[in-house]
Structure 1
Amino acid sequence: MQPDPARIGLVEDDPVMGGSIVQRLELEGWRVTWWQSGRDAISGIEGLSDSLDLVICDIRLPDISGEVVFSELANLPNSPPFLFVTGHGEIDQAVRLMRSGAVDFMTKPFAMEEFLRRIDAGRRTTHSQLRLKGYFLGESPAIQHAEDLLRRYAGHDLPVLITGETGSGKEVAARLLHEVSPRRAEPFIAVNCAAIPAELLESEIFGHEKGAFTGAQQRHLGYAERAGKGTLFLDEIGDMPMPLQAKLLRLIEAGSFNRVGGETCCTFRARVVSATHRDLSQRDRPSSFREDLYFRLAVLPVTIPPLRERHEDIAWLLDRFLENAASRSNTRIRGFSALAEEAALAYPWPGNVRELRNRVERAVALSTSEWIMPGDLFPERATKPGNAAFVPLADVRDAAERRQIERALDETGGQIAKAASLLAISRTTLWEKMTRLGLVDRVRSTS
């Protein structure tokens, strides 16, 4: 049986462009409903929100803006995804709409084949399709939201700024962004701005000519040039020296640079993706980071949440890193003991994903048993005889209760009565536990 054709809503006041889009989409087998004003679109979409797979909306409409249409319809319980069509002067507005939940935007004029690809990518995804899609960064809603954002950003050439605590997985996120982008076949060049001495960083990024300085015996191609048409990833961008920040700003705005000691202007064709654990937007106190550069880097921002805020990912990451570490070891490891898993879930992970990976690799290397025990993951706790394999019982109990309550709330859509029934406790008891564990914000207004 063939699947039902996609149903597309089009909000476009230009009769020529609108008619052309309708004709092409119908040739593709999609059903199209066309509105030529914002108010008509709001009235029409309210009655079709459950059945529309995507709304294509012009930002500039004769009565109200496309942003108003999107804002009013965003409150619908099953609001369809929006793809905006924008002029060059409206890119900032389109980016703001993406941050608010729009799936994509395209700038006029656009190639029809690329337009069709974006429509197909942005269409409403069913729950079963989401399961088939799979996620690369984790299983928690917080990290999957970040991954969804990265995938939406992938089709654009605008700079991306990835923020998050040290060890949270910013470079992994940057590599994912590159791999799902049209630039995947081009180089991914990573530069750690904090690891290279300040006096060498300019030469490493922009390259240098022979004789540019003492020791420059031949021409050296910098990271910006070696990135080609791929991705230039600038990690720990907040540690870049101020004089070099001005040159990076020129690189992004002009799309060109000069090698150190060179007069020939080189074209820069790569996409800039940067990352930092610092808050570069601090306006309440002096900062060593240029505000104009920050705004150019943070056109498309995404935050990677710390591991302590995504408990669902801990067991998933443990298994993933164990499989990787065990494949490189002669030791036969069957898995984590229940005590080790509970200890990991109760631990705050100040070093985030990097710390978890390091602890797993050390445990695999040092374990003398087929099962990894708490003392293998946390050997520093073995300071007193008899206490090595234990964490406070209250921490273990809280971690287990939190997991079960979160599962019940996810299963019931945040409805207290149904969740309490699943857990075989009263609503009052569930509410008290949720308050103590900081889960009250998971409740839906329908509960």
Structure 2
Amino acid sequence: MADRILIVDDEALIRKSLGQMLGHKGYDVVTAASAAEARKVFTAGEFALALLDLRLPDASGIDLLREFKAAQPDLLVIMMTAYGSVETAVEAMRLGAYDYVNKPFKSREIEVIVRLALEARHLKREVKELREEALGATDLGNIVARDPAMLKVLDMVRKVAQNPDVTVLIQGESGTGKEMIARAVHAESPRADKPFVGINCAAIPGNLLESELFGYEKGAFTDAKARKIGLIERAQGGTLFLDEIGDMDVGLQAKLLRVLEERKIRRVGGLDELAVDVRILAATNQDLDEKRKTGRFREDLYYRLKIIHIDIPPLRERKADILPLAQHFIQDANRRFHKNVQGFSPEAEDFLLGYRWPGNVRELKNTIERILILEETDWIRPEHLPPEILRGRPAEEGGVWIPQEVEILRGVSFDRVMDEVARYLIGEALRLAGGNKAQAARLLDMDRGTLRYQIKRLGIGA
């Protein structure tokens, strides 16, 4: 649809010439010879831009500018006059005019101003729509949650978000959606219109992480050819999300603590301290309390981060979310892969509910996407599910995991089944211990030598 432009001028020649010129450029042009006529046509439809003469027979163009901007704040207004003054121009710009041109003017001059103004308007709207889309993706209303445990998490997010300065520590297994919760805290907070900047502390070596967070001055080190603004500064006014903070070097932890306490930073190689207004959200899948006790995480930073603690339960502990999430991922994958999968058969649903989902929500999402990419079907049935889901499920009683093998009456290898149980238990213990074999051995009530032997024998992590 062509942009609508309103031309208000008591000179017929100007109305006609401007109207024809802009009409030939593809704009939808409406003209008015007086303020009264302009008010009438303005209320009858929405305009993208208005060209207003400063002096009209029945009013001032400044009056129309004030009225039109009050009714439609994003309206672009260009003032035209043969009696210009600096004071009038300043007043027009103060009231929201986009530009101010003096008569006589060239048609080409007006055409360029109009085109640039409308291009700026379109870009501004696109940015607004993209920002709303980005925020909407993490809006609490768009998070799929039915299980009481997850609903409790979202209720805490709502409460925490309203305090824009409090630090939050988000804990949960890999794939549970820690970044999604962090983005929701940001989106629901007064900082929502400011940047959300995230970094994975485990993905960057410690000596580089400091430069990424704090930035550096030119000449700070050999490769510092120019000043670099760090992520903390880039998040000014908004939120900094530190994922996998348990992997941050202890020395850098001390500098982060100073940021939290003093709200100031100093770039690497710099002398000046810079004030920062940033909310810090941190996340980890490790046991920070255990790391604190062993000296691998600063105690003062631990308690400073843990002012508010959000613990995201693993998917296996919120079974009421499994099928709604799976259906949500089907709808999303249908749209992206141009498929029309309706859902799951009852048998497939049983397998989904019975699986422990060690990779949590991320694993469920990846599973759905893989099925829709590889299979041509309207309904997902057991034969479409990956072997690991068909092979294992929790026992009905006692909560002990057992592999779902062939029926015993048909024959089963006892040793192979026991190896699978051992492989699962050791893998779970190592995951919960963050890869620490000594801690995993304690969880399994076995000595470290036995654990190392079993890891090697079963090929775990190989």
> If the TM-score is normalised by the length of the shorter chain, which range does it land in?
0.5 to 0.7
CA distance in 1, matches of 2:217, 2:283: 29
Instruction: Please tell me whether the aligned partners of residues 137 and 143 of structure 1 are also in contact (alpha carbons under 8 angstroms).
Output: no
Aligned to 2:193: 185
CA distance in 1, matches of 2:306, 2:388: 40
Cα distance change of structure 1 residues 309 and 171 upon mapping to structure 2, 3 Å threshold:
same
3-state DSSP of counterpart to 1:162: strand
3-state DSSP of counterpart to 2:228: coil
Q: Structure 1 residue 216: deviation in Å? A: 1.2
Aligned to 1:153: 160
Instruction: Please tell me whether the aligned partners of residues 356 and 393 of structure 2 are also in contact (alpha carbons under 8 angstroms).
Output: no
| Aligned residues with identical type, % of pairs | 48
Aligned to 1:274: 282
The Cα offsets for residues 273-304 of structure 1, whole Å up to 9 and x where unpaired, read as: 10111121238941300000011111011100
1:138 aligns with 2:145: yes
- Of 279, 292, 295, the residue aligned with 1:287 is 295
CA distance in 2, matches of 1:297, 1:221: 24
1:210 aligns with 2:218: yes
Q: TM-score, normalised by structure 2?
A: 0.53
3-state DSSP of counterpart to 1:282: helix
CA distance in 2, matches of 1:223, 1:345: 41
Instruction: Please tell me whether the aligned partners of residues 135 and 144 of structure 1 are also in contact (alpha carbons under 8 angstroms).
Output: no
1:246 aligns with 2:264: no
- Of 338, 341, 361, the residue aligned with 2:369 is 361
CA distance in 2, matches of 1:206, 1:233: 14
CA distance in 2, matches of 1:192, 1:330: 32
- Mapping of residues 164-179 of structure 1, within 5 Å: 164-179=172-187
CA distance in 2, matches of 1:284, 1:220: 32
Instruction: Please tell me whether the aligned partners of residues 200 and 242 of structure 2 are also in contact (alpha carbons under 8 angstroms).
Output: yes
Instruction: Please tell me whether the aligned partners of residues 144 and 324 of structure 2 are also in contact (alpha carbons under 8 angstroms).
Output: no
Aligned to 1:348: 356
Q: Which amino acid aligns with 1:365?
A: I
Q: Structure 1 residue 324: deviation in Å? A: 1.0
The structure whose residues are more often helix, as a share, is 2
Q: Structure 1 residue 240: deviation in Å? A: 0.2
CA distance in 2, matches of 1:172, 1:324: 16
Q: Structure 1 residue 254: deviation in Å? A: 0.5
Question: Over aligned residues, Cα RMSD in angstroms?
Answer: 2.2
> Structure 2: where are the runs of 5+ without partners?
1-139, 400-462
- Mapping of residues 109-148 of structure 1, within 5 Å: 136-148=143-155
CA distance in 2, matches of 1:223, 1:393: 44
3-state DSSP of counterpart to 2:309: strand
CA distance in 2, matches of 1:291, 1:284: 6
The Cα offsets for residues 79-130 of structure 1, whole Å up to 9 and x where unpaired, read as: xxxxxxxxxxxxxxxxxxxxxxxxxxxxxxxxxxxxxxxxxxxxxxxxxxxx
Instruction: Please tell me whether the aligned partners of residues 193 and 240 of structure 1 are also in contact (alpha carbons under 8 angstroms).
Output: yes
- Of 332, 344, 366, the residue aligned with 1:324 is 332
The Cα offsets for residues 145-183 of structure 1, whole Å up to 9 and x where unpaired, read as: 011011101111110011111111111100111111111
Work out which of the two has the higher radius of gyration on C-alpha atoms and give 1 or 2: 2
Q: Structure 1 residue 243: deviation in Å? A: 0.7
Instruction: Please tell me whether the aligned partners of residues 137 and 144 of structure 1 are also in contact (alpha carbons under 8 angstroms).
Output: no
Q: Which amino acid aligns with 1:155?
A: Q
Q: Which amino acid aligns with 1:142?
A: A
Q: TM-score, normalised by structure 1?
A: 0.55
> Structure 1: where are the runs of 5+ without partners?
1-132, 382-387, 399-447
Cα distance change of structure 1 residues 247 and 300 upon mapping to structure 2, 3 Å threshold:
same
Aligned residues: 258
Q: Which amino acid aligns with 2:154?
A: E
Instruction: Please tell me whether the aligned partners of residues 292 and 298 of structure 2 are also in contact (alpha carbons under 8 angstroms).
Output: no
1:219 aligns with 2:248: no
Instruction: Please tell me whether the aligned partners of residues 322 and 361 of structure 1 are also in contact (alpha carbons under 8 angstroms).
Output: yes
Instruction: Please tell me whether the aligned partners of residues 354 and 394 of structure 2 are also in contact (alpha carbons under 8 angstroms).
Output: no
Aligned to 1:311: 319
Instruction: Please tell me whether the aligned partners of residues 346 and 395 of structure 1 are also in contact (alpha carbons under 8 angstroms).
Output: no
CA distance in 2, matches of 1:289, 1:175: 25
Q: Structure 1 residue 212: deviation in Å? A: 1.0
- Mapping of residues 355-394 of structure 1, within 5 Å: 355-380=363-388
CA distance in 1, matches of 2:141, 2:218: 49
Cα distance change of structure 1 residues 337 and 164 upon mapping to structure 2, 3 Å threshold:
same
3-state DSSP of counterpart to 1:274: strand
3-state DSSP of counterpart to 1:354: helix
Instruction: Please tell me whether the aligned partners of residues 193 and 201 of structure 1 are also in contact (alpha carbons under 8 angstroms).
Output: yes
CA distance in 1, matches of 2:194, 2:271: 27
The Cα offsets for residues 390-420 of structure 1, whole Å up to 9 and x where unpaired, read as: 8779769x9xxxxxxxxxxxxxxxxxxxxxx
Instruction: Please tell me whether the aligned partners of residues 355 and 393 of structure 2 are also in contact (alpha carbons under 8 angstroms).
Output: no
Aligned to 1:102: none
